[in-house]
Amino acid sequence: MRTLLRFFQKYSNMLLFLLLEIIAITIMTQGSSYQRSKLIGLNRQVTGYIYSKVDGAREYFSLKEVNERLAEENLDLRNRLDLILSQLDSATVVSEIKGEHRYYFVQSRIVHNSIYKQYNYLTLNKGKKQGVFRDMGVISDQGLVGIILESSANFATVIPVINRDFRLSAKIKSNNYAGILQWDGLSPQFAILTEIPFHVELAEGDTILTSGFSSIFPEGIEMGRIESFSLEKGNFYDIRVELFTDFQRLYHVNVIRNYRQEEQLNLENQNR
């Protein structure tokens, strides 16, 4: 007890200074939305920087696994390229490569994540300076990851599939029926597909893909497979989807930039 009292006596001026600083910052941010936004932006920059440094050791111990996964991905890409070259003549391939591209991919790395909360978020080490902005899609070699929520100069936060606020149009590969994929907050390995009517034929193991109805993601990105389904709520199925993305072992991702997103959204807003 005496030691504690001596501590407070010795550092009383510093503790009082810190207390007054906290009170001043609280009053300043509550009274001005501009100051609040500036503080939030500074906090995102600082926490992003700290996460990137702390994550270094974790990434080092996972290098072997990451390299193996990248090697498999490169092999898959090479196989796809060989297939295209075998089906198309060289002139056609060159024309496609030089033509206008709709999507551009920005490689990034996760420096912080949460997976066991109801509202999980990821932090990436790329931001506005690298072309990463709000409402851009995020994928990995495993499948769909999430959507950019906010970005600062060099970092970005992602709302992943395993967040209760996440909603995305998804379709069943075998029949193209589309519904809404969302997370029920129970397990980071599973999500729920809703709004599929009772007359649709379903099969366990069928693949769930992005529908292409969103301006954020291209059509056909793999999301998961049907694990089970039931008809407990009237005329629509409750479909349990096993996600392809393992968020516990996720490090490297790609951010998708749709060059035609603004044009599409402006047109859709005119019709509302």
Q: What is the pLDDT of residues 201-236, one digit of tens each?
A: 999 999 999 998 888 888 889 999 999 998 876 789
Alpha carbon distance, N-terminus to C-terminus of the chain? 68
Q: Which has more confidence, 34 or 173?
A: 173
Same domain for 184 and 213, yes or no, is: yes
Q: Which has more confidence, 237 or 12?
A: 237
Task: Check residue 176 and give left, alpha or beta (phi > 0: left; psi -120 to 50: alpha).
Answer: left
Same domain for 79 and 137, yes or no, is: no
Average pLDDT over residues 36-54: 63
Same domain for 179 and 114, yes or no, is: yes
- Per-residue confidence (pLDDT) for residue 122, from 0 to 100: 95
Q: Which has more confidence, 10 or 4?
A: 10
**pLDDT higher than 60, residue 17:** yes
Task: Assign residue 217 the CATH number of its domain.
Answer: 2.40.10.340
Strands 167-172 and 178-182: antiparallel
Tokens in use for 229?
């389904």
Kindly report the average pLDDT of the chain as a whole number.
78
Average pLDDT over residues 4-32: 66
> What total number of domains does the chain contain?
3
In the structure, what pLDDT confidence band is assigned to residue 270 with cuts at 50, 70 and 90? confident
Q: Give the lowest-confidence range in 63-72, 202-211, 232-241.
A: 63-72
- Per-residue confidence (pLDDT) for residue 106, from 0 to 100: 85
In the chain, DSSP finds a helix count (H) and a strand count (E) of 6, 12
Instruction: Let me know: does 217 contact 105? Beta carbons within 8 Å.
Output: no
- Per-residue confidence (pLDDT) for residue 95, from 0 to 100: 37
Same domain for 93 and 40, yes or no, is: no
**pLDDT higher than 60, residue 91:** no
Domain that holds residue 94: 62-99
Q: Which has more confidence, 56 or 249?
A: 249
In the structure, what pLDDT confidence band is assigned to residue 193 with cuts at 50, 70 and 90? very high
Same domain for 205 and 174, yes or no, is: yes
Same domain for 13 and 71, yes or no, is: no
Task: Check residue 191 and give left, alpha or beta (phi > 0: left; psi -120 to 50: alpha).
Answer: beta
Residue type, 6: R
Average pLDDT over residues 183-205: 93
Coil/strand/helix, residue 137: strand
